[in-house]
């Protein structure tokens, strides 16, 4: 199983003051509001990833797109474990 290295966040376009205000805003949110925001961001990521896959593979059907999305989000090993064979060029 391969591990994915996630780089630290780079906030080159955000001033320290703006970052601090944003973090203060996040701390004021209720747990339910933070969960709702997290779910919305997760759905947005899936939507954007699927749109990119559709653009790169316009002839792919729903099952192939699903397999490619699972590979993109969770890795090939997981995709093959839950879906069986996936396209060899899926990444």
pLDDT of residue 15: 87
pLDDT digits (tens, 9 = 90+) for 33-88: 999 999 999 999 999 999 999 999 999 999 999 999 999 999 999 999 999 999 99
pLDDT of residue 12: 72
Residue 33 maps to a domain: yes
Residue 76 lies in domain:
16-83
Longest dimension (CA), the chain: 49
Query: Rounded to two decimals, what is the model's pTM?
Result: 0.70
Residue 50 maps to a domain: yes
pLDDT of residue 4: 62
Residue 57 maps to a domain: yes
The alpha-helical segments, DSSP class H, found in 1-91 are 16-28, 31-56, 62-74, 76-83
Residue 2 maps to a domain: no
- In order of 10, 18, 61, 90, the CA distances from 72 in angstroms are 22, 32, 16, 8
Residue 26 maps to a domain: yes
**What's the total number of domains in the chain?**
1
């Amino acid at each position: 199983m391969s591990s994915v290295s996630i780089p630290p966040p780079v906030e080159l376009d955000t001033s320290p003051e703006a970052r601090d205000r944003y973090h203060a805003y996040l701390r004021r949110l209720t747990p339910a509001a933070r969960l709702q925001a997290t779910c919305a961001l997760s759905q947005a990521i899936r939507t954007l990833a699927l749109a990119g896959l559709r653009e790169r593979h316009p002839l792919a059907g729903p099952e192939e797109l699903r397999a490619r999305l699972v590979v993109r989000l969770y890795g090939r090993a997981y995709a093959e474990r839950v879906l069986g064979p996936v396209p060899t060029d899926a990444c």
